[in-house]
Amino acid sequence: MSRPFRPALRPGEGHTRGQRPSSRPLRQAWNLVNLSTVLGLVAAAVLRCPLTPAPHGLVQARNYPLAFPDGAAFTVGNVVFTRPGLRMTPELWRHESGHATQYAVCLGLPFLPLYFLAVGWSLWRCGDTASANLFERTAGLALGGYRERAPIRAWHGRRLDRRPAGRHDDGPPGPGGTLA
């Protein structure tokens, strides 16, 4: 990480100086109350991921060690887990901030099953986890480093043969997290 070390946060802290829209404290508080940030903080403690303040009122849990989920970064409540060596960009922070807002809108932990349903839908519809995933699209595919793929199936299930140039990309997934 390129960010300088700062002391670990207590729950509910972590604003970015000089740029805090009024919704951020509300989102921070709500994601604590709905337990999604609590889950993130407990997971960070169990996995011994150091916590540092992050933009958008988020908390970064660095050095996430597990293989699942496969994204380079992912968000649980207001806690953004990042893998070792990932350099977070302003775009990625905006993307992950969008997921934190989604947790708030989903009343916290219901985000998780809803997200996995969206992953399943996207895999069926487009063949990847993000292109038709409502949560990733809302957080911003490009911000998350995802390349949008055209649908491979119509709504009624028929497989599409059309392959518009430049829309099918079998490259590696972007850094946007699977939960993130």
Beta carbon of residue 136, minimum distance to Zn ion (angstroms, whole number): 5
Show the site string, 136-175: x = touches Zn ion by CB under 5 A, - = not: x--x----x-------------------------------
Q: How many residues does the chain have?
A: 180
Q: Nearest approach, Cβ of 130 to Zn ion (angstroms)?
A: 7
Whether the CB-CB separation of 160 and 151 falls below 8 Å is answered with yes
Beta bridge partners of residue 51, listed in sequence order: 61
Sequence-ordered list of residues with C-beta below 8 angstroms from that of 51, at least 6 positions apart, any chain: 8, 9, 41, 44, 59, 60, 61, 62, 79
Where do we find the tokens 């849990």?
A: 61
Nearer to Zn ion, 152 or 179 (CB): 179
**DSSP 8-state secondary structure symbol assigned to residue 15:** P
Q: How far apart are the first and last CA of the chain?
A: 18
40 interacts with Zn ion by CB under 5 A: no
Q: Least Å distance between CB 134 and Zn ion?
A: 11
| Number of residues in contact with Zn ion under rule CB under 5 A | 5
Work out how close the CB of 122 gets to Zn ion at its nearest, in angstroms, rounded to a whole number: 12
Q: What are phi and psi of 73, to 5 degrees?
A: -145, 150
Question: Which listed residue (11, 77, 145, 176) binds Zn ion by CB under 5 A?
Answer: 176
Closer to Zn ion by CB, 108 or 176: give it: 176
Query: What character string, x for contact with Zn ion (CB under 5 A) and - otherwise, covers 101-120?
Result: --------------------
Contact between 93 and 59 under an 8 Å Cβ cutoff? The reply is: no
Burial (0-12, 13-18, 19+ Cβ within 10 Å), 123: middle
Q: How far is the CB of 7 from Zn ion (least distance, A)?
A: 28
Is residue 77 a contact point for Zn ion (CB under 5 A)? no
Query: With binding defined as CB under 5 A, does residue 69 bind Zn ion?
Result: no
Instruction: Report, in Å, the least distance between residue 13 CB and Zn ion.
Output: 24
Residue numbers of the site for Zn ion (CB under 5 A)? 136, 139, 144, 176, 180
